[in-house]
């Protein structure tokens, strides 16, 4: 009988997302550089807010997230009525696919794009469409060539994960203006805060009705474990997404910690500066060992090896030394390793180990 109980088409095509690993058997003192986490953790104000909410856990949370949306609006200069908050930006991506794409519709993303776009498209019953990048950089012409009358959503992360590369505002505007009329462009700004002076695409959203931006507290805010993200978009899209959002999708703890975090921009600025300094240091150290990286604008670098075999051997060597980085074969980059920019000691340790690995060969 159970063969008659079947999921919706597309669901069984989903390959399970694998998070970055955090353990190596037999090694106690591991350095985890596999999930693009902030090595300094959350800021003090976020931690204080977390403790405060312990006393009100018997209360249901607020359903409209007004206080957090106003705080985000003030900090970023955005209309709070055009903001929606979710369980990580993953949930916002899920809402977008659920609301705008179904069987027969296409969801477009790039060759080395974030895996959640494919997963959410398949979960909604839509057809994922992948277009090529140009040397690990988003290619606007390839995206436009890949669009059809069935394209409903176009996802690009800018900067992208796992490449770290980004395209400029003019290219984004050109893309938005040339998309077919039924397609919504989604700019995933998970790493936007790492780029000095970049608004994550907010100004492009503000001036158009076919562009949406997602953001997260998981990266620079050091709150990946809390699960909170947000989106900013045209009013008509926010209105649609709010209809499918569960009223209690976010706990009081998530809401209050995120609000304290977003109001603490001094902490964000400190993390941004430290990341930029160490990212440059790490990329130069790897280059000296004969391992090139593209110029990354995010909190990781993509280290390129000769081939998949060398990347695998280096990963195994790092692991045996207690360092966990990310293999990116599932992103069509089997010859690369994605390395999160950790604190100074971790950066030195991973660079030193890769030097040893290269020296032995």
Ligand X SMILES: *Cc1c(COP(=O)(O)O)cnc(C)c1O
Which residue's CB comes closest to ligand X? Answer: 88
Contact status: 216 vs ligand X (CB under 6 A): yes
Site string for ligand X, 145-174 (x = CB under 6 A): ------------x---x-------------
Contact status: 89 vs ligand X (CB under 6 A): yes
Binding to ligand X (CB under 6 A) within 264-323 occurs at: none
Distances (CA, A) of 280 to 111, 243, 273, 323: 26, 44, 11, 20
For residues 78 and 72, the answer to whether their CB atoms sit within 8 Å is yes
The reply to whether omega before 162 is within 30° of 0 (cis) is: yes
* Pairing of β 336-340 and β 229-232: unpaired
* Pairing of β 31-32 and β 323-324: parallel
Smallest gap from Cβ 339 to ligand X, in A, equals: 14
* Pairing of β 151-157 and β 106-110: parallel
Contact status: 218 vs ligand X (CB under 6 A): yes
Question: Which residue among 61, 88, 146, 222 contacts ligand X (CB under 6 A)?
Answer: 88
Contact status: 37 vs ligand X (CB under 6 A): no
For residues 223 and 257, the answer to whether their CB atoms sit within 8 Å is yes
Smallest gap from Cβ 39 to ligand X, in A, equals: 15
Residues 57 and 47: their CA atoms lie apart, in Å, by 16
Q: Which residues, listed in sequence order, are joined to residue 130 by a DSSP beta bridge?
A: 109
**Of residues 114 and 194, the one with the C-beta less far from ligand X:** 114
Binding to ligand X (CB under 6 A) within 116-145 occurs at: none
User: Given the rule CB under 6 A, which of 135-143, 217-225, 259-267, 331-339 is the region that contacts ligand X?
Assistant: 217-225
Question: Which residue among 100, 109, 114, 198 contacts ligand X (CB under 6 A)?
Answer: 114
Question: Which residue among 78, 176, 183, 190 contacts ligand X (CB under 6 A)?
Answer: 190
**Of residues 90 and 106, the one with the C-beta less far from ligand X:** 90
User: Given the rule CB under 6 A, which of 56-64, 86-94, 198-206, 287-295 is the region that contacts ligand X?
Assistant: 86-94
Contact status: 100 vs ligand X (CB under 6 A): no
Contact status: 38 vs ligand X (CB under 6 A): no
Question: Which residue among 61, 146, 222, 224 contacts ligand X (CB under 6 A)?
Answer: 224
Assign 337 to helix, strand or coil.
strand
User: Given the rule CB under 6 A, which of 60-68, 82-90, 163-171, 273-281 is the region that contacts ligand X?
Assistant: 82-90
Question: Following DSSP, what letter does each residue of 281-331 receive, concatenated?
Answer: HHHHHHHHTT--BPPP-SSEEEEE-SSHHHHHHHHHHHHHTTEE-EE-GGG
Contact status: 229 vs ligand X (CB under 6 A): yes
Long-range interactions of 61-65: CB distance < 8 A, separation 24+: 61/248, 61/250, 61/251, 61/252, 61/254, 61/255, 62/252, 62/255, 63/247, 63/248, 65/250, 65/255
Contact status: 232 vs ligand X (CB under 6 A): no
Q: How large is the greatest C-alpha to C-alpha distance in the chain, in angstroms?
A: 62
Contact status: 84 vs ligand X (CB under 6 A): no
How many residues touch ligand X under the rule CB under 6 A: the total is 14
Q: Which residues, listed in sequence order, are joined to residue 185 by a DSSP beta bridge?
A: 154, 211
Write out the H or E segment, with its range, that includes residue 40.
none
**Of residues 36 and 53, the one with the C-beta less far from ligand X:** 36
User: Given the rule CB under 6 A, which of 129-137, 169-177, 212-220, 273-281 is the region that contacts ligand X?
Assistant: 212-220
Contact status: 185 vs ligand X (CB under 6 A): no
Q: Contact residues for ligand X (CB under 6 A)?
A: 36, 88-90, 114, 157, 161, 188, 190, 216, 218-219, 224, 229
């Amino acid at each position: 009988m159970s063969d008659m109980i079947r999921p919706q088409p597309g669901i069984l095509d989903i390959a399970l997302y694998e998070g970055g690993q955090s353990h190596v058997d037999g090694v106690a003192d591991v350095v985890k550089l596999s999930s693009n986490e902030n090595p300094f953790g959350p800021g003090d104000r976020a931690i204080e807010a977390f403790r405060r909410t312990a006393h009100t856990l018997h209360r249901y949370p607020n359903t409209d997230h007004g206080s957090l949306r106003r705080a985000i609006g003030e900090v970023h200069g955005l209309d709070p009525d055009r903001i929606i908050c979710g369980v990580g930006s993953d949930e916002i991506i899920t809402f977008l696919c659920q609301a705008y794409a179904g069987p027969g519709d296409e969801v477009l993303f790039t060759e080395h794009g974030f895996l959640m776009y494919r997963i959410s498209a398949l979960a909604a019953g839509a057809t994922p469409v992948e277009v090529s990048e140009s040397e690990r950089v988003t290619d606007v012409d390839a995206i436009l060539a890949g669009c059809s009358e069935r394209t409903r959503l176009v996802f690009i992360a800018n900067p992208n994960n796992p490449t770290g590369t980004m395209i400029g505002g003019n290219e984004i505007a050109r893309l938005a203006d040339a998309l077919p009329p039924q397609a919504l462009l989604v700019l995933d700004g998970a790493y936007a805060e790492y780029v000095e002076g970049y608004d994550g695409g907010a100004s492009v959203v503000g001036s158009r009705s076919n562009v949406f931006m997602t953001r997260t507290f998981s990266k620079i805010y050091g709150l990946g474990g809390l699960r909170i993200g947000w989106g900013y978009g045209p009013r008509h899209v926010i209105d649609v997404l709010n209809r499918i959002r569960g009223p209690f999708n976010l706990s009081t703890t998530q809401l209050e910690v995120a609000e304290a975090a977003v109001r603490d921009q001094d902490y964000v600025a400190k993390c941004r500066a430290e990341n930029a300094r160490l990212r440059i240091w790490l990329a130069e150290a790897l280059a000296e060992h004969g391992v090139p990286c593209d110029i990354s604008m995010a909190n990781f670098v993509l280290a390129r090896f000769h081939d998949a075999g060398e990347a695998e051997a280096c990963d195994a060597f790092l692991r045996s030394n207690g360092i966990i980085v990310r293999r990116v074969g599932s992103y069509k980059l089997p010859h690369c390793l994605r390395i999160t920019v950790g604190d100074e000691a971790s950066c030195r340790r991973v660079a030193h180990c890769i030097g040893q690995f290269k020296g032995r060969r």
